[in-house]
Amino acid sequence: MTSSWLAKTAAICALAGASCAWAVDQPPRWIKADDLRVRAGPGMDQRVSGMLQRGSEVILKSPEAFDGFCLIEGDGQYGYVACQYLSAEPISRPRAGQDGVPPDRRWITGTAVNLRAAAARDAEIVSRLSINRAVQLVRADVGIGFCEVQPLDRAGKPEGASGFTACQYLAVEALPAAQAAAIDGDPARTFWRSPGWWKLEAYAQSLVAKLPESAKYGPWPRDEELERMKAHLALGLKAPPPKPLPDWSALKALAAAHDPAILGTAQRAKARSGKDKELWRREYRASSAAHQIGVNLGLSGPLHDSISSDGGGERVMRLMLALEMPTVRPSLFRTEAEVGPPGEGPEALAGRFGGIYRTVVAPRKPQRPDGSTTTGAGLYDMFSRTVSLTRPVLYVQLYRDGTLKSEATNTSATEVLWRDVDGPECEGWTPGFGFGDVDGPIWRYFDQPGNELPQPVKRAAGPPRLFAYKALQAPPRSKATRSEQVVKLDRAATGFSRFTQMGFDLDEDGVPDLMVLEGAGPGPGHLGGTTQTDDPWYRLLLVNLGGAWKVLSSDSFSYGCGC
């Protein structure tokens, strides 16, 4: 969701053309809250992408408010803030001794500044203070450049133990956010504050930037800091829990809250013109809701594009409203720490199941003098990285007849570091579903001129695979009790002619634990086209978690790849 709301705004403006008059009307505003959160979208539930301090000057990108949130840009931030904290008149930045700020207030101007138990360089480190952390100056310069300070919380109340820190890192006012980010941007210090692959990559990129052009393809001088980072990641890291699984009832409520008709009526052009402000707001919110639902369901393609001109968003909304799940009570799975999507990678699985993931890099080979070696793939002295779990999880394959088969896997994933060069297209691509099988007329697509496969697809004998999931515990039975219901739909209204809903009771208590929804309709085909026949091209996997349906994964039939 990081950029989806912003992309949506730009897309709507692009469709409206020159009628987006607000795009050139960008009045300045000043922040009147002490620490104002900048969010990726208009709403308290949207991800926090940054912070703005009181007195920061920003540009109001749109005079229209979205549920009380305004789109702003400035001081290194771009996103949505609560409109009530914007002032049309300049607001001064907090400064010690001014506008009610205590004269002994100070702000930290360094990154991870040590707070020690005594005024000595070898004294015990009590904690580390982040840049722009507010503190109270207790005693100034108590010896050899140390000051005694008391850390403060957001409300200005004492927090944690007091201690001694270098006076040079204290200032009478906070640094602007953009300046603080620049100071805080040392890639080595950023890595060690919270180690991770992308921070190692940022450090490696900083090494690449220092190389002369002649050394672009090696040899690469050994860098001890980089080696320590590699070794640290190879030992293993814990990961935070992945974001919560989408709640089916919440998606239904989101669709019900926005009239899907507005996305496909004759009023659409009027809404996009911006002449009717209320209609424009309704259309924007409905389009954004359709986009959010489509992303969570894994729906894409010309028939379900929320900003398409032929009602793609309306189809997504109507499909969501048309599909009904049975009411369930708690059964086999109780929490999100018990089951994961089949395609979830090692880092996310480590966060989900409380494990450890390791990252190991393979060395890069220098290019030959004639330039004929390698593909040019690599980052500094690294060719690829392999991420894996330190303890295996189970990959549980669900078959169409209810059969369940489990196998242990450490979910190892290798990425070649192509970065500045183009990798091979379609390497490892296979047509069909990613986690299951399907037979029948859908394969006729590849009989058409230009769509031929290099070799026929062969499926293993036995019942067809339907979907899969990952877990720590094997299912209690080798075959689930299965139920099935076919729901006929309006193809023009939803993009599908029917859905087959297959319920699976894994523990034989009369309550379905998994639900697979298989949609048949004109598939998206390759490169954005649509097929001419109704194919079973889409599958959605829901899991009963504690008596509520959650979206676990989606799977689409792949008709092609590359460009």
Over residues 375-409, the pLDDT tens digits come to 678 899 999 999 999 999 999 999 999 999 999 99
Domain co-membership, 77 together with 150: no
328 in a structural domain: no
Domain co-membership, 410 together with 504: yes
Domain co-membership, 460 together with 540: yes
Domain co-membership, 460 together with 531: yes
Residues in CB range of 519: below 8 A, 6 or more apart? 496, 498, 499, 536, 537, 538, 539, 540
Mean pLDDT throughout 508-530? 91
Whether residue 14 is predicted with pLDDT greater than 60 in this model: the reply is no
552 in a structural domain: yes
214 in a structural domain: no
Domain co-membership, 424 together with 480: yes
Cα angle 313-319-321, degrees, rounded to a multiple of 5: 105
Residue 522 · residue 302 · CB < 8 Å: no
Q: In this predicted model, what pLDDT tens digit does every residue of 326-362 receive, in sequence order?
A: 999 999 999 999 999 999 999 999 999 999 999 999 9
**193/420 Cα distance (integer angstroms):** 28
Task: Name the residue type at position 84.
Answer: Q
Residue 338 · residue 472 · CB < 8 Å: yes
Domain co-membership, 78 together with 154: no
Closest CA to 64 of 109, 97, 26, 107: 26
pLDDT averaged over the chain?
A: 84
Closest CA to 73 of 104, 29, 11: 29
Domain co-membership, 82 together with 115: no
270 in a structural domain: yes
Question: Residue 205's pLDDT band (boundaries 50, 70, 90)?
Answer: confident
The pLDDT, as a whole number, for residue 19 is 35
Most confident of 187-196, 230-239, 272-281, 503-512: 503-512
Question: Residue 52's pLDDT band (boundaries 50, 70, 90)?
Answer: confident
233 in a structural domain: no
Pull the structure tokens for residue 184: 């805080």
Domain co-membership, 468 together with 516: yes
> Which residue, chain included where needed, has tokens 């220098």?
366
The pLDDT, as a whole number, for residue 83 is 92
> Phi, psi at residue 556, to the nearest 5°?
-125, 145
Domain co-membership, 314 together with 349: no
Domain co-membership, 551 together with 452: yes
Higher pLDDT, 146 or 533: 146
Whether residue 104 is predicted with pLDDT greater than 70 in this model: the reply is yes
Residue 43 · residue 76 · CB < 8 Å: no
Percentage of the residues of the chain whose pLDDT score is greater than 70: 88
Domain co-membership, 416 together with 310: no
The pLDDT, as a whole number, for residue 308 is 66
Query: For residue 508, is it left (φ>0), alpha (ψ between -120 and 50) or beta?
Result: left
Host domain of residue 132:
105-175
147 in a structural domain: yes
551 in a structural domain: yes
Residue 171 · residue 106 · CB < 8 Å: yes
Residues in CB range of 209: below 8 A, 6 or more apart? none
Question: Residue 17's pLDDT band (boundaries 50, 70, 90)?
Answer: very low
Burial classification of residue 27, based on how many CB atoms lie within 10 Å of its CB (0-12 exposed, 13-18 middle, 19 or more buried): exposed
**Which ranges constitute the DSSP H helices of 298-362?**
312-322, 346-353
Strand pairing category for 146-151 and 57-60: unpaired
Q: What is the pTM of this model?
A: 0.72
DSSP string, 182-244: HHTT-HHHHHHHS--HHHHHHHHHHHHHHS-GGGTTS-----HHHHHHHHHHHH-B--PPPPP
Closest CA to 311 of 273, 275, 270, 262: 262
Domain termination residue (choose one: 139, 156, 175): 175
The enclosing domain of 28 has a CATH number of: 2.30.30.40
How crowded is residue 30: how many other Cβ atoms within 10 Å of its Cβ? 20
Q: In a 3-state reduction of DSSP, which class is residue 350?
A: helix
The pLDDT, as a whole number, for residue 174 is 84
**428/80 Cα distance (integer angstroms):** 41
Domain co-membership, 67 together with 111: no
Q: How many domains does the chain have?
A: 4
Pull the structure tokens for residue 403: 């059969």
Question: Residue 11's pLDDT band (boundaries 50, 70, 90)?
Answer: very low
223 in a structural domain: no
